[in-house]
Amino acid sequence: MRTRSFSLAIAGLSTAGLLGWALAGCGPTASPSAAGSGDGPARVRVVATTTQVADFARNIGGDRIQLTQLLKPNVDPHDYEASPADVQAIALADVVVKNGVGLEKFLDEAISSAGFEGTVVDASQGVPIRTGNGTDEEKAGDPHIWQNPRNAKIMAHNIAVGLSTKDPADAALFQRNDTAYAAKLDALDRDIQTRIDALPAGQRKLVTNHDAFGYYVDRYRLQFVGSIIPSFDTSAELSGKDITDLVAKIKATGVKAIFSEASLPPKTAQTIGREAGVRVIGGEDALYGDTLGPAGSAGDTYLKMEEHNTQTIVDGLS
Amino acid sequence: MLHRLLVEPFALPFMQRALIEALLLGALGGMVSVFVLLRRLAFVSDALTHTVFPGVVLGYLVAQTRGIVWGALLFAVLSAVLLTVLSANRRVTEDATLAILLTGFFSVGVVLVSRRTSYTADLTGFLFGRILFVDRREIVETAVVAAVVLVALALLGKEFLLRAFDPDGAAALGYRIPLLDLALNVLVALVVVAAVKAVGTVLVIALLVVPAAAARLLSDRLTVILPAAVAGGALAGWLGLAASYQASVYHGLRLASGATVVLALVALYALAFAAAATRRGLDRLGWLNRPAPGARAST
Amino acid sequence: MSTAAPLFADAFSRRALLEAVLVGALAGLVGVHVVLRRLAFFTQAMTHATFPGVVLAALLGVNLLLGTGIFGVLAVLAVAWLWSRPGAEETSVIGVVLAAGFALGVTLLSAQAGFTRDLSSYLVGSVLTVDRADILATAGVLIVVVLVLAAVGKELILGAFDRGALVALGYPAGLLDVVLLLLIEATVVAAVPAVGTILSVALIVAPAATARLWTDRLGRMTAIAVGLGVFAGAAGLTISQLQNVAAGAAIVLVACACFALSWLFAPRYGALGRWRAGRAAPLSTVDAG
């Protein structure tokens, strides 16, 4: 009789033993909320969603904030899945900073699940929003507002205001950082304008992986020929008709080069480039559309990203 | 240290809710998995996880997130019925029918998605689950489904077993086999629907297959297999969530919570496998007093 | 505009057509054995169990087919080994391997911080962007499969119907089983770029299952299966071009539609035929027990 349940007993006993040991609770426990305390006056705990607003927050908040960034570089916001650490960070945060314009669909659920009751800073407040591409997802408009440095200034300022409200003691510091960063953004804006204007007028046309560059195109008066994925959703699969149509459009406008984004796979762009007989600029020199690049890459801060994109476009089209 | 591993993750409410959901689904899956094992319904269950996909899509189209469960439910029942009907043609073996049904339905879902481009994130959620976001309402929904399945098994469990072990006998006693089969298929479908939000359609197959398979390695008695499967399912839910939390908070590794639950199930299976192999090894060495070979009851 | 322009005028669509046709033929050939031996679930499991291979290959930067291939072989070996253990129920073992493989893949995938599009094209296929290397790989697999089936096809069929006889005749039945499992795995690996992992099992099973509704004779069954596979590939692509629908799904839906129509209308074995014969159609000898 005992042989029948022998192996069951072994497995059961070992599992029960583990459980008993666990519940007896030997050893000290590290409480998740203890992290970061004990080094001077408490820093503001900030959770930022996208790489861009996280970069802005870092520039504004400096070392007076403890920042958690949800989206990692090259991760499509549409594919993002919150991890336990992310939800926990939100639960323990003082301020949550988001891009807005409906980009972070996941955020509402994460916030309500975490039971967050602090301030949510919507960086898009006051930014002139372009119309979306007509899909449900873009009901609130085109979310890629950061592509125009003038919008970036507004976003950074919103973050400064939000942080100051939560932490009035450091308001002066946040204000100073905001002013300094705004100056850098102005300089960036002028620089890009100069370089784009230097391109021959007939060549200022853009074909990219997807419709992420609307604000950039509008600001610097380029012409947008079309995108390889005809919507903001980066996982829509192309049909044969889509490809044929885009190839025809490219040939018709005489565009010299098409641009692929760093966060999207180049195979589709290459297929279209081959068919249309144009250069495909991707891989290492790809544009940064949805996110900043990983640390150490050419686009790991907002300022560097805009510089890199502009240089790549100018090189490709001249 | 183990306290940190197994208890601390559940300090915050969202993890507590996830734990309750995981325990419920693990136990529910474990319960039903025994019948899936006995009636060899592993492929049927896998097929059902794919055939609900267009239902999920349609449900979302009509009523956003809340509509998903209803869409899934509708298509789950529809597929259970269709499957029973199609099995009537004996020229096409059941497994071929299932494969075609499964992929046909799933393709319809893919086509629907490819024409509308606006909800990848939700889709990823339904393929892989969002257990960290379950709210009270969803836990109650899962509990209700569990209760329904429990009642059904209490009422029909003996009939299911009879049909599994002695179909001719069952028919002779007047039980309508096709109806019994349909009933069990529907129960499996209900579990799939309940699990869709938590672990996703792709991973729920594990909940429906692995617990009983592992328990079966340890014993051939139903009185042992059933509680072992239920306990194993629940335990895997706990361990999987704890592992996902640990990796995320202390090691900066994002491991999808639904997937870690499945890996925990597979680990338990491996453990059971090792235990069974150990027993056989000790047997052969003569270290265990055994009755003469051939005395084992078969299932 | 595209209805006026000739279809398949561009090189990319011709490449896609070639790939679809090759995969369709391959799937039809191997599908006959899958259907006769009731290995559809195994095939399904293969498509899921190879997923971690794809993720690892993408992580390490090696060819995705290589990763798929290696994990496919691992999965075959795992299933074969587990099947040989006592207390193992056939379909449960497949279920465990399927779940383990796919969960492993999802875990690895989520560990690299997000589902990238390369990998989601693995799920549903992207036949429109196949390149020369993909086509050569498919052609290679097709040639190997044809050669192997030419060599041991008859033995495999015998093994499907009467394993005892096969053993009695001195053939290594277990080895032949594993060979077939590996052929199936190779077919899955070749089909995945075209129709994706979730749908490839349809292309393998549907044409052969349809063929079985029309004929008892193996030669004809194989021919019909291959023909239907090729037809599904070509027709599906055409529909994708005309109707703005995902190509992989279109191919699979054509294959399933052929099956559905045959299920209803095949003269002897379809629903119509059986009804007309008063549901007295005898079990054919092709039915293996």
Q: Which helix or strand (DSSP H or E) is residue B61 part of? A: helix B42-86
Shortest distance between the Cα of C277 and any Cα of chain B, in A, equals 14
Q: Examine residue B295 and state whether it is found in any structural domain, yes or no.
A: no
Residue A35 has pLDDT above 50, yes or no: no
Domain that holds residue B50: 2-284
Question: Residue B273 corresponds to which tokens in the numbers above?
Answer: 């496998």
Helix ranges, chain A (H): 6-24, 51-61, 84-92, 105-114, 149-166, 171-197, 214-220, 240-253, 267-276, 302-317
User: In C, which residues are within 8 Å of B240 by CB distance?
Assistant: none
| Closest chain C residue by Cα to residue B51 | C198
Residues of B in contact with A132 (CB under 8 A): none
Region A210-216: mean pLDDT is 83
Cα separation, B113 vs B107, whole angstroms: 10
Contact B125, B200 (CB under 8 A): yes
C31 CB neighbours in chain B (<8 A) are none
Q: Is the pLDDT of residue B173 over 60?
A: yes
Task: Give C271's contacts in chain B (Cβ within 8 Å).
Answer: 89
- Per-residue pLDDT tens for C204-221? 999 999 999 898 888 999
- For A78, name the nearest residue in chain B, comparing CA atoms only: B121
Confidence check: pLDDT of A100 > 50: yes
Residue of higher predicted confidence among B94 and B104: B104
Q: Residue A223 and residue A207: Cα distance in Å, rounded?
A: 9
Is C35 within 8 Å of C200 (Cβ atoms)?
Answer: no
| Residue C111 in contact with partner chain A when CB distance is under 8 A | no
Contacts of B170 (CB under 8 A, 6+ apart): B159, B162, B163, B177, B180
- pLDDT given at position B134: 87
Collect all residues with Cβ–Cβ distance below 8 Å to C92 and sequence separation of at least 6. B37, B40, B42, B209, B212, B213, B216
pLDDT of residue A265: 54
Question: Taking 60 as the threshold, does the pLDDT of residue C161 lie above it?
Answer: yes
CATH of domain A200-317: 3.40.50.1980
Chain centroid, CA B227 distance in Å: 15
Which of C30, C32, C44, C279 would you mutate first to test chain B, the one with the most B CBs within 10 A?
Answer: C44
Would you call A267 and C10 a contact, using CB atoms and an 8 Å cutoff?
no
| Mean pLDDT in residue range A244-257 | 79
The Cα–Cα gap between B121 and B126 comes to: 9
C280 touches chain A (CB under 8 A): no
Which residue ranges make up each domain of chain A? Answer: 39-191, 200-317
Check CB contact under 8 Å for C113 and A72.
yes
Domain of residue B132, CATH code: 1.10.3470.10
Which range, A201-215, B103-117, B224-238, is most confident? B224-238
At A143, the amino acid letter reads P
Q: How far is CA C29 from the centre of its chain?
A: 9
C111/B253 CB distance under 8 A: yes
Contact C116 A74 (CB under 8 A): yes
Of the pLDDT bands very low, low, confident and very high (cuts 50, 70, 90), residue C14 is confident
The string of pLDDT tens digits covering residues B251-299 is 888 888 888 999 999 999 999 999 988 888 888 888 766 565 555 544 4
Q: Cα angle vertex C218, ends C214, C220, to 5°?
A: 55
pLDDT at A88: 93
pLDDT tens-digit map of B24-58: 999 999 999 999 999 888 888 888 888 888 888 88
pLDDT, tens digit (0-9, with 9 covering 90-100), for B97-145: 888 888 888 888 877 776 655 445 555 666 677 888 888 888 998 899 8
**Does position A31 have pLDDT exceeding 80, yes or no?**
no
Nearest CA in chain A to B126: A81
User: Which of C54, C116, C244 is the mutation pick for testing A, counting most A CBs within 10 A?
Assistant: C116
- Report helix angle C218-243 to C247-265, nearest 10: 130
Put simply, whether C209 touches B (Cβ < 8 Å) is yes
**Is residue A22 over pLDDT 60?**
no
Number of structural domains chain B divides into: 1
Predicted confidence at residue B290, as pLDDT, reads 59
B30 exposed, middle or buried (CB, 10 Å; 0-12, 13-18, 19+)? buried
Superfamily of domain A39-191: Nitrogenase molybdenum iron protein domain (3.40.50.1980)
- pTM of the shown model: 0.80
Q: Is residue B299 part of a domain?
A: no
What are the Cα distances from residue B174, in Å, to A152, B64, B156, B178, C230?
75, 45, 14, 12, 48
From A107's Cα to the closest Cα of chain C, the distance in A is: 16
Contacts of A among chains (3+ CB pairs under 8 A): B, C
Tokens at C23, concatenated: 């995969």
Instruction: Give the span between the Cα atoms of B288 and B283, in whole angstroms.
Output: 6
pLDDT tens digit string along C164-190? 888 888 888 888 888 999 999 999 888
The residue of A231, A261, A271, A275 whose CB has the most chain C CBs within 10 angstroms, and thus the best one to mutate to test that interface, is: A271
Q: Which fold has domain C11-276?
A: ABC transporter involved in vitamin B12 uptake, BtuC (1.10.3470)
Distance CA B23, CA B16 (A): 10
* Distance from C-alpha of A142 to C-alpha of A290, rounded to nearest angstrom: 12
Mutate to test the interface with A, among C64, C109, C117 (most CBs of A within 10 A): C117
ipTM computed for the complex: 0.84
Within 10 Å of residue A161's Cβ, how many Cβ atoms? 16
Is the pLDDT score of B164 beyond 60? yes
Supply the pLDDT for residue C190.
87
Element (H, E) at A46: strand A44-48
- Over range A290-294, report the average pLDDT: 85
pLDDT tens track for A256-275:
888 876 555 566 667 777 88
Closest residue, chain C, to A235 (C-alpha): C117
Q: How confident is the model at residue A299, as a pLDDT?
A: 85
What residues are paired with A210 via a beta bridge? A229
d(CA B6, CA B17): 15
The per-residue DSSP string of A150-191 comes to HHHHHHHHHHHHHHHHH-GGGHHHHHHHHHHHHHHHHHHHHH
Classify each residue of B117-138 as buried b or exposed e, where b means 16 or more C-beta atoms within 10 Å of its C-beta: bbbbbbbbbbbbbbbbbbeeeb
**Single-letter amino acid code for the residue at A22:** A
Judging contacts by C-beta atoms under 8 Å, the chain C residues touching residue B106 are 198-199
Residue A10 has pLDDT above 60, yes or no: no
Which residues in chain A touch residue B124, judged by CB atoms under 8 angstroms apart? 79, 81
* CA distance linking residue B12 with residue A26, whole number of Å: 21
Report the share of chain C in percent with pLDDT over 90.
23
**C248 to chain A, minimum CA–CA distance in Å?**
10
Report CB contact under 8 Å: C253, B104: yes
How would DSSP label each residue in B242-296? Answer: HHHHHHHHHH-----HHHHHHHHHHHHHHHHHHHHHHHHHHHHTT-S--PPTT--
Smallest Cβ–Cβ distance between A239 and the set C114, C117, C240 belongs to C240
Q: Determine contact, residues A110/A82, Cβ cutoff 8 Å.
A: yes
Query: What digits encode the pLDDT tens for the residues C35-82?
Result: 999 899 889 888 888 888 878 887 777 777 788 888 889 988 888 888
pLDDT tens per residue, range B177-203: 888 888 888 899 889 888 877 778 777
- Model confidence at C125, pLDDT cuts 50, 70, 90, reads confident
Q: Is residue B219 part of a domain?
A: yes
Long-range contact pairs involving C234-238 (C-beta distance under 8 Å, separation at least 24): C234/C17, C234/C20, C234/C21, C234/C24, C236/C20, C237/A240, C237/C8, C237/C13, C237/C16, C237/C17, C237/C20, C237/C127, C238/C7
Region at A282 (left for phi over 0; alpha for psi -120 to 50; beta for the rest): beta
Partner residue facing A22 (CB), from B2, B118, B252: B2
Which residue of B95, B122, B248, B266 is the best one to mutate when testing the C interface, meaning the one whose CB has the most C CBs within 10 A?
Answer: B95
Contacts of C120 in chain A (CB under 8 A): 235
Q: Which residues contact A183 (CB under 8 A, 6 or more apart)?
A: none
Segment A85-99 shows an average pLDDT of 93
pLDDT, position C193: 77
